[in-house]
Amino acid sequence: MVAMHATLTKWGNGRGILLPKEMCEALSLSVGDSVSLVLDESSRTVVLENPKAYTLSALMAGYDGPKPGEVDAPDASVGGELW
């Protein structure tokens, strides 16, 4: 586990946390990326979840469409396509 210091600052009517460059690099975060914050009230910690951390297996879980290499198309032209 890596621990770094960040300071909560006023940002307009809200608050902001400036993430250190090293933390952004470790999380593969770039300006404009969306992140999720999860509060664990029992330990009073906030966990940053990086959406980029998904694996292909996680993204394809529950998918029941055609497998790679399978063709889901009619045998003949149905809309003026050129075969």
Instruction: Mention the CATH class of domain 8-59.
Output: mainly beta
Name the pTM for this structure: 0.45
* Among candidate residues 40, 37, 41, the one with its CA nearest the CA of residue 19: 37
Residue 9 has pLDDT above 70, yes or no: yes
- The tokens describing 1, both together, are 């586990």
Say how far apart CA 24 and CA 30 lie, in whole Å. 7
Q: What is the pLDDT of residues 44-73, one digit of tens each?
A: 777 777 666 667 887 888 888 877 776 666
Predicted confidence at residue 14, as pLDDT, reads 92
Name the residue ranges covered by the structural domains of the chain.
8-59
What is the DSSP code (8-state) at residue 19?
A: P
Between residues 56 and 16, the one the model is more confident about: 16
Residue 4 makes CB contacts below 8 A (sequence gap 6+) with 20, 22, 23
Residue 56 CB neighbours (<10 A)? 7
